[in-house]
Amino acid sequence: MIEMQDVWKTYPNGTVALQGIDVRIKDGEFVYVVGPSGAGKSTFIKLMYREEKATKGQIVINDFHINRLKERQIPYLRRKIGVVFQDFKLLPKLTVYENVAFAMEVIEESRKKIKPRVMEVLELVRLKHKARSLPDQLSGGEQQRVAIARAIVNRPDLIIADEPTGNLDPETSMDIMQTLLEINRGGTTIVMATHNKEIVNSLRKRVIAIEAGRIVRDEQRGEYGYED
Ligand SMILES: Nc1ncnc2c1ncn2[C@@H]1O[C@H](COP(=O)(O)OP(=O)(O)OP(=O)(O)O)[C@@H](O)[C@H]1O
């Protein structure tokens, strides 16, 4: 469960990115976050994994009071949340296998557990055969599937994705969506900021629209609602 109550974010330069966000997202939901450029979508997402800290208000994700976490507690939060970015953010000198294994190594999982679990998630994203490749030997869609494998390898309750299809062609984007939907069917909550009108309008899910830092629309099986 994600709960935000009267959440505000003002950046140090004075920009007010969010003003009074109230939202509840239940376990297992799939939510699109849409809105014009600069509306506050990324900020909304960054608050959830404490990349940014809210200026005011309460954010609770499962049992974590996100805004009250001490710096040293943040890694424990991040174990429960997988994050996927538009630009994949893979480590270029590590193989596909090593990129995914790394996420388990940092939480000090045993070597014995790492290998079977990494191979299992690579199979889920259909990339077992690329385990020894380096990221720059893969297509964009394959790189994003590695990033998704890395995001799910520690069995998070929540996946947060910021424009995961932003750098991909329409066909590859649909493929990435099928992977995310499959993960969601397994019970993982997914919150995804996107500008992809075709995806939002064809794979209908809950839509939260943010404009100028406020939620202006929140609909089950909603539409994208913008022209871009
Ligand atoms: N680190 C920062 N410092 C100051 N202002 C920021 C910072 N990050 C974002 N902003 C501002 O906060 C507002 C919301 O930005 P945010 O990135 O959340 O929007 P967005 O909806 O994700 O936009 P886009 O669709 O273009 O990615 C914008 O006015 C932006 O310029």
- Average pLDDT for the chain: 95
CA of 208 to the centre of ligand 1 (A): 17
What ipTM was reported for this prediction? 0.97
Cβ of 11 closer than 6 Å to ligand 1, yes or no, is yes
Residue minimizing CA distance to atom 26 of ligand 1: 37
CA of 111 to the centre of ligand 1 (A): 40
pLDDT score of 75: 82
d(CA 46, CA 6): 16
CA of 33 to the centre of ligand 1 (A): 14
Which backbone phi and psi does 69 adopt, to 5 degrees? -65, 140
pLDDT score of 27: 97
Cβ of 46 closer than 6 Å to ligand 1, yes or no, is no
- Token pair 């019970």: residue: 187
4-62 confidence digits (pLDDT tens)? 999 999 999 999 999 999 999 999 999 999 999 999 999 999 999 999 999 999 999 98
Cβ of 43 closer than 6 Å to ligand 1, yes or no, is yes
pLDDT score of 216: 98
> 179: left (phi > 0), else alpha (psi -120 to 50), else beta?
alpha
pLDDT score of 63: 84
Cβ of 42 closer than 6 Å to ligand 1, yes or no, is yes
| Ligand 1 mutation target, pool 43, 48, 167, 216, most atoms within 8 A of CB | 43
pLDDT score of 79: 84
In this structure, the chain runs to a length of: 228
| Ligand 1 mutation target, pool 9, 10, 11, most atoms within 8 A of CB | 11
How far apart, in Å, are the Cα atoms of 21 and each of 58, 67, 210, 217?
10, 14, 9, 12
pLDDT score of 107: 87
**Token duo for residue 157:** 């309750």
Tell me the pTM. Answer: 0.94
Strands 81-85 and 64-65: unpaired
CA of 191 to the centre of ligand 1 (A): 18
Q: Which parts of the chain have pLDDT scores under 50?
A: none
Strand partners, 192: 32, 161
Residue minimizing CA distance to atom 1 of ligand 1: 11
